[in-house]
Structure 1
């Protein structure tokens, strides 16, 4: 009973933690650690919630969550009452929905990227001014990457080539290559699928927005390595002033919509304020603890 109760408390605690983390600004000072914390928190919520429901269903066997499964299988769930059966069905349903929606999100992204790659093959061209990059003859500002398993495509518009100077363009291309190299699209997938499962909850949308912003900041940090941070900062401001269209579905663009995210990125580029080493170490150490605690409670006999 104790383990089940703790899993339930942890599940509720992750909701409160997500609320606090979605409003936190210290994560902007160490975006990669912030991304890892979000991943650990999401994993912790899923395991703790499903584990609490399973623990409630398996209470008659008094062997914990995983320890009670063989007993339930052996007697064909004969000891389960109405409450326990409802909890078991809820656990199985939640697990199924989360997995199905994650697979749906993967299929949808793969389909959108395949369609967009086929379109790029028809309308894009190579340009010696930007080697390794596809150029689309469109007057608007656009810069994004199309991630892939074997190869990723970085795309810019003719309008972007006219809008940015050489240093700014190099910074934007480095930003997009950072997205592709670090596979930020895979980081977003679980949060995108979670929003599809719970579209009515504003907290889930705020979580996705927070992760998207941290991903952009992480790519900004890669892009400014070895070059003046002002190049990327001015490029972001030019993109914001040009009001670019949203990046195609399944891609990652350089400019997030909204004044606050853009200015937050510009300010941290021009006035970096790294997180102190003790705080960074504490945040990093919290990642495996948050992710591992519900797993420990699952296997603990109780």
Structure 2
């Protein structure tokens, strides 16, 4: 019962923390750290929510969550009595765990298929251009720049974007998209998209996905400004916004409010977080990530 209560308390704390985190003001000053904390909250909430139900369900075995599930699967006799609440908790816990796993795998498969189809289309309509070596160019008048991540990753830019942007601005945009590829931001976004499918009615999940999408763009901006001027990237964003961009699979613009937040951040960067605050957040992320699995494996 103590394990079930601890897991339920952890799930509640993660849900409340995610709700408060959506309005945090420091995240734009350390987007990578904020992404790590969001991932830790998601992992801890999923394992704690399903684990709390399963911990209560296997209480008759008096062996902890994981050992109790093993005993249940192997049809070992229980020390206590099974009743309807324990059966319902088992069904609920296994259902929640299965839904989270299935939607994640489904989202991954669908994403891989969509990327494969998109690569085939690019092989038909895109071309190489000596002006941007290593980048695929699509002859479309609308401005667009995006990446197709994966083993055979590609950065794609439209002819309209090449005409719209100066050489420095184009370099900044391509550095931004290369950062998405290098840091595998597609893998960062995948669990949040899957959680949105599993819980489409939850406002906190929608807000979390939107914030992580913005944080990913900010992280790519930070990586890009190692190779280009932040002002050049900001002006490129503004040019895209005023010209109107064509739809892309992984567009770099997003909502207008997000673009302006990124532009303000590039032009007027805020001071970095203190080292003690960064370390505290990192310790919190590690604690969240490890606490739920630890409560799963400890015996009763």
TM-score (normalizing by structure 1):
0.94
User: Aligned with 1:63: secondary structure?
Assistant: coil
Alpha-carbon contact 2:60-2:80 (below 8 Å) kept: no
Give 1:277 deviation, angstroms. Answer: 1.5
Q: Which residue of 1 aligns with 2:162?
A: 161
Q: Cα distance 1:178–1:120, how it changes in 2: closer, same or farther (>3 A)?
A: same
Aligned Cα root-mean-square deviation (Å): 1.5
Q: What is the distance in 2 between the residues matched to 1:94 and 1:203?
A: 18
Alpha-carbon contact 1:147-1:183 (below 8 Å) kept: yes
Give 1:56 deviation, angstroms. Answer: 0.8
User: Aligned with 1:256: secondary structure?
Assistant: coil
Q: Which residue of 1 aligns with 2:63?
A: 63
Q: Which residue of 1 aligns with 2:145?
A: 143
Matches within 5 A, 1:3-152: 3-72=3-72, 73-75=75-77, 79-149=81-151, 151-152=152-153
Alpha-carbon contact 1:136-1:155 (below 8 Å) kept: yes
Give 1:113 deviation, angstroms. Answer: 0.8
User: Aligned with 2:22: secondary structure?
Assistant: helix
Gaps of 5+ in 2: none
User: Aligned with 1:145: secondary structure?
Assistant: strand
Give 1:21 deviation, angstroms. Answer: 1.2
Alpha-carbon contact 1:142-1:157 (below 8 Å) kept: yes
Gaps of 5+ in 1: none
TM-score (normalizing by structure 2):
0.95
Give 1:66 deviation, angstroms. Answer: 2.3
Q: What is the distance in 2 between the residues matched to 1:158 and 1:67?
A: 59
Q: What is the distance in 2 between the residues matched to 1:144 and 1:226?
A: 18
Q: Cα distance 1:56–1:241, how it changes in 2: closer, same or farther (>3 A)?
A: same
Q: Which residue of 2 aligns with 1:279?
A: 277
Is 2:295 the partner of 1:294?
A: no
Encode CA deviations 1:170-191: one digit per residue, 9 max, x unaligned.
0100000110111100111111
Alpha-carbon contact 1:176-1:253 (below 8 Å) kept: no
